[in-house]
Amino acid sequence: MTAAIGLFFGSDEGNTEAVAYRIQQRLGEEFVDVMDIADVTQLEFADYDCIVLGIPTWDFGQIQSDWEEFWDDVSEVDFSNKRVALFGLGDQFGYGDYFLDAMGMLHDVVKSKGAQLIGYWPTEGYDFEASKALLEDQKLFMGLAIDEDQQEEMTAARLNRWCEQIVAEFELEIPVEHLDD
């Protein structure tokens, strides 16, 4: 049986994968199926009405390699009647002109395929020059912003808060465990 939430991630060096499982720990294995985008087909999206997508940015504003390979497939998924929350990983000091760009690109694709996007996240507390993952007013990211390179110590609290937010916006009755890591 599938869980209420399908979480799909791509990860080159393991940071996004680790965050994916930290989200699952907070929401419970019975409520979240975690899948590597390298191992799935677009058909698996059909199983879930509530979807979480995790993507890091690489090489000056590029999409992570497994997401890149999946890009044509994701562009063909019908996301209408689905709620989608995004989380992105990046390095705001090292790549401040391209912070989380891939999350912005994924947002635009999923939105164009009819998804209702949830899980937008305030930009307070981050320091960067430019990002394609910002909404027009520049006050919100298009999903949760995680920086394991520069703000690792803030990740646990951000995940606790964002998990509460997405459960409410998915309109699910899932207790969120608040964790220190």
Ligand X SMILES: Cc1cc2nc3c(=O)[nH]c(=O)nc-3n(C[C@H](O)[C@H](O)[C@H](O)COP(=O)(O)O)c2cc1C
Residues that bind ligand X (CB under 6 A): 11-16, 56-61, 64, 89-91, 95, 98-101, 148-149
Nearer to ligand X, 104 or 167 (CB): 104
Smallest gap, in angstroms, from Cβ of residue 112 to ligand X?
A: 22
Nearer to ligand X, 45 or 98 (CB): 98
Residue number of the CB atom closest to ligand X: 90
Q: Where are the alpha helices (DSSP H) in the chain?
A: 15-27, 65-74, 101-112, 155-170
Could you tell me if 6 and 45 are in contact, meaning their C-beta atoms sit under 8 angstroms apart?
A: yes
In 61-149, the DSSP E strands lie at 62-63, 83-89, 116-118, 121-122, 140-141, 144-146
3-state class (DSSP) for residue 154:
helix
Least Cβ distance, residue 92 to ligand X (angstroms): 7
Q: How far is the CB of 173 from ligand X (least distance, A)?
A: 30
CA distance 165 to 64: 26
Closer to ligand X at the Cβ: 27 or 92?
A: 92
